[in-house]
Amino acid sequence: MYDPDRVYDDHFRYDATTGICYERSTETAPDAVELDNTWYLPHRRHLRPDALRAELERAGLRVISQDGGNVISVGAFRPGAHQETTR
Whether residue 72 is found in the same domain as residue 52: yes
What's the domain range around 55? 48-78
Look up the pTM and report it.
0.72
Residue 7 included in any domain:
no
Amino acid (one-letter) located at 43: H
What pLDDT sits at residue 79? 60
Mean pLDDT, residues 16-23: 94
**Contacts of 69 by beta carbon, 8 Å cutoff, 6+ apart:** 1, 47, 49, 52
Whether residue 23 is found in the same domain as residue 35: yes
Tens of pLDDT along 54-74?
A: 999 999 999 999 999 899 999
Mean pLDDT, residues 6-13: 95
What pLDDT sits at residue 8? 94
What pLDDT sits at residue 19? 94
| 82 against 53, higher pLDDT | 53
Number of domains within the chain: 2
Residue 74 included in any domain:
yes
